[in-house]
Amino acid sequence: MMDSAAKTELASALRLSVMRLSRRMRQERSSSLTPTQIAVLATLERHGPMTLGEIATHERVQPPSMTRVISNLADSGLVARSAHPTDGRQVIAEVTEAGRALLEADRRRRDEWLAERLAELSDLEIAALRRAAPILERLAGS
C-alpha cells in the first residue's frame, strides 16, 4: 500500500504530465477558434441542439458569455440558431455540418500527432499506457 507522501508525489507528477500533454494537444489544434468555442461545438455535437442557458450550464459559464460565443460561431457558419418551439424568448443552437467537419479535422490532427508520439515508445510503454488510459478516464470523471 502506498503511503500518503508517495501518493502526494504521484499526484504532483501526474498533474504536471497531464497538464503538459493537454497544453501540447491544444497547440496541435487545426483551427483558429478559442478553446471555449471548440468546447461549445463539441458539447452541441455530443448532446444535440440546446438552449444557450443549457450550453452555459454545461460549460460552466454565465449566459451572457455564451450569447457572445454562439454569435461568433453562428457568424462563422459553425452553429445554426433557431427559435425555441415553445418559448419565444429563447434560442436553440445546433452544430452545423461545417462545425462537425471542423471538429473532425481538429480531432484527426491531434490524433495523428499523438499517434506519431506513441510510435516513438516501446511495446512495454504502449502496454502501460493501454492499462493507464481507463484509469485516467475514471480519474477525469470523478
- With pLDDT > 90 as the criterion, what percentage of the chain qualifies? 75
Higher pLDDT, residue 22 or 2: 22
70 assigned to some structural domain: yes
Its domain, for residue 57, covers 27-111
Domain with residue 40: its CATH number is: 1.10.10.10
- Per-residue model confidence as pLDDT tens digits over 93-125: 999 999 999 999 999 999 999 999 999 999 999
- The distance from CA 135 to its chain's CA centroid, rounded to whole angstroms, is 18
Q: What is the pTM of this model?
A: 0.79
**Residues 52, 91: contact at Cβ < 8 Å?**
yes
74 assigned to some structural domain: yes
The answer, yes or no, to whether residue 142 has pLDDT greater than 70, is: no
Distance CA 79, CA 4 (A): 48
Name the domain count of the chain: 1
Render the burial of 33-55: b for 16+ CB within 10 Å, e for the rest: beebbbbbbbbbeeeebbbbebb
Q: Read off the DSSP letter of residue 120.
A: T
66 assigned to some structural domain: yes
Find the mean pLDDT for residues 72-94.
92
- Categorize the per-residue pLDDT at 84 as very low, low, confident or very high, splitting at 50, 70 and 90: confident
